[in-house]
Amino acid sequence: MPAIHVDQEQAIVETVAATDTDGSEINAEGFVIPVVIPLSEVGPWLALYDPTSGTSPSAANSRIIARAVLDALIAAAEAT
């Protein structure tokens, strides 16, 4: 299973004005949480993902990403 890391110590509350991956505009105050994917893990992660499939990535792979982000969110929310 490829690795993913979140730098929860750098999570901050900030106003973000950007474009989301689906092209929609974002203008909101929220937590900005750095996600770190080692360069050596980019290929393995991309190999597991098919953007044309509604069931990709798998639940197990999605859970790895979700838990890393949610654990960082819990820590950041408790620190503010």
Phi, psi dihedrals of residue 64, rounded to the nearest 5°: -60, -50
The rounded distance, in Å, linking the Cα atoms of 34 and 8 is 7
- Peptide bond before 2: cis, by omega within 30 degrees of 0? no
User: How is the chain split into domains, by residue range?
Assistant: 5-79
pLDDT (tens digit, 9 = 90+) per residue, 6-48?
A: 988 899 999 999 999 999 999 999 999 999 999 999 999 999 9
Q: What is the distance between the alpha carbons of residues 80 and 2, in angstroms, rounded to a whole number?
A: 31
- Condensed to tens digits (0 to 9), the pLDDT of residues 59-74 reads 999 999 999 999 999 9
* Cα gap 71→42, rounded to integer Å: 22
Total-model pTM: 0.78
Element (H, E) at 19: strand 12-19
